[in-house]
């Protein structure tokens, strides 16, 4: 283990890996710390998920990503990023959760297993760890899921899907096609505009024909053991129910950003403060990379358009190190 790394990278997703690759290519010492498995967020995606982006837009390290389909699947992405990590022999510490950060001469990071010191820190922790809660009575019942993996479990059951995003629509269609009785509860007037363009007509047609029931401009008021109370424009409904898939989105770990001393906007967007040219935050030597840069606007940054953060950060670190040598 290095006495002091040039860079400590927190988060072992695609952008964290991209930062590690760029650091290694620049001759900088680094370590990537990930609280779960390699590309943990992608591992926790639904098993049958396909990406919106084509495979070449998910590539890192100039390693070709060859997919069997126009849009790569979760399993293909796991295979690809694992092979990239092995190809570059990246220095990754998995299943280590960062517990604290302190700044003396260098940054000291204490994890669940070790202590690391680094001159710079890159936060690339994504947003998939914390679900956006409904905050209604009964949300803590075992029948409520904020993550969705596989439709077979819900076959022949009465399933309520909350939301109209990509994850909600995918879950509703898959569960319906496995024989579930699916009802969607949607706050908006229609299915979200950002839903994958090849999926949106499918869900709209299923709703139109009545195969999947949908209540628009509606919200869940309470979840009970055998029913769900829903507020609709036509009044309150009691719907018989076995499971609730509350797929209402996810958010960055703002408490963790606070611990790291990163300032955020005071509005409900909670944009982390950073220089858009270097990705450096208000704390000197702490950088942001990936979707975490968008605060609550988690649709602003994704793999495709945040791969450039790795180049920007390493360029900034190299420029500062040259100044310090001079």
Arithmetic mean of pLDDT, 54-60:
95
The answer on pLDDT for 8 being more than 60 is yes
Tokens of 277: 């040219």
Q: What angle do CA 219, 152, 250 make, to 5 degrees?
A: 40
The answer on pLDDT for 257 being more than 70 is yes
Distance CA 173, CA 182 (A): 8
Arithmetic mean of pLDDT, 237-261:
91
Nearest to 300 by CA among 278, 266, 281, 272: 272
- pLDDT value of position 326: 34
Q: Phi, psi at residue 190, to the nearest 5°?
A: -155, 175
Nearest to 248 by CA among 157, 161, 127: 161
Q: What angle do CA 204, 219, 295 make, to 5 degrees?
A: 85
Distance CA 306, CA 301 (A): 6
Residue 245 and residue 160 in contact, taking contact as beta carbons nearer than 8 Å = yes
Q: Is the pTM of this model over 0.85?
A: yes
Residue 50 and residue 69 in contact, taking contact as beta carbons nearer than 8 Å = yes
Residue 80 and residue 94 in contact, taking contact as beta carbons nearer than 8 Å = no
Distance CA 215, CA 162 (A): 10
Report how far apart, in Å, the C-alpha atoms of 106 and of each of 31, 44, 286 are.
15, 34, 11
Helix, strand, coil content of the chain in percent (nearest 5): 30, 25, 45
Average pLDDT, the chain: 93
At 148-195, the pLDDT tens digits run 999 999 999 999 999 998 899 999 999 999 999 999 999 999 998 889
- pLDDT value of position 325: 46
At 73-126, the pLDDT tens digits run 999 999 999 999 999 999 999 999 999 999 888 999 999 999 999 999 999 998
Domains delineated in the chain: 5-130+250-324 (3.50.50.60), 133-246 (3.50.50.60)
């Amino acid at each position: 283990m290095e006495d002091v790394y040039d860079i400590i990278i927190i988060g072992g997703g695609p952008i964290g890996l991209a930062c590690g690759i760029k650091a290694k290519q620049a001759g900088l010492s680094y370590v990537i710390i990930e609280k779960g498995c390699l590309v943990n967020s992608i591992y926790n995606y639904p098993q049958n998920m396909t990406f919106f982006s084509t495979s070449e837009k998910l590539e890192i390290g100039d390693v070709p990503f060859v997919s069997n389909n126009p849009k790569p699947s979760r399993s293909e992405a796991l295979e690809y990023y694992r092979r990239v990590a092995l190809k570059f022999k990246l220095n990754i510490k998995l299943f280590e959760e960062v517990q604290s950060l302190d700044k003396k001469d260098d940054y000291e990071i204490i994890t669940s297993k070790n202590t690391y010191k680094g001159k710079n820190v890159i936060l690339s922790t994504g947003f998939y760890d914390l679900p956006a809660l409904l905050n209604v009575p009964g949300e803590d019942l075992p029948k409520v899921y904020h993550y969705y993996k596989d439709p077979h479990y819900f076959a022949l059951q009465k399933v309520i899907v909350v939301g109209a995003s990509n994850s909600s629509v995918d879950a509703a269609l898959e569960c319906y096609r496995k024989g579930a009785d699916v009802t969607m509860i949607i706050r908006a007037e229609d299915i979200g505009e950002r839903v994958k363009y090849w999926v949106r007509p499918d869900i709209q047609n299923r709703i139109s024909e009545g195969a999947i029931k949908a209540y628009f401009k509606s919200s869940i008021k309470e979840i009970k053991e055998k029913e769900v109370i829903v507020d609709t424009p036509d009044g309150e409904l009691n719907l018989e129910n076995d499971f609730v898939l509350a797929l209402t989105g996810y958010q960055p770990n703002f408490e963790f950003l606070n611990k790291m001393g990163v300032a955020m906007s005071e509005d409900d967007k909670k944009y982390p403060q950073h220089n858009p040219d270097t990705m450096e935050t208000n704390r000197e030597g702490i950088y942001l990379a990936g979707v975490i840069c968008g605060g609550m606007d988690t649709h602003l940054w994704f793999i495709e358009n945040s791969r450039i953060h790795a180049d920007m950060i390493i360029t900034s670190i190299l420029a500062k190190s040259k100044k310090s040598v001079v």
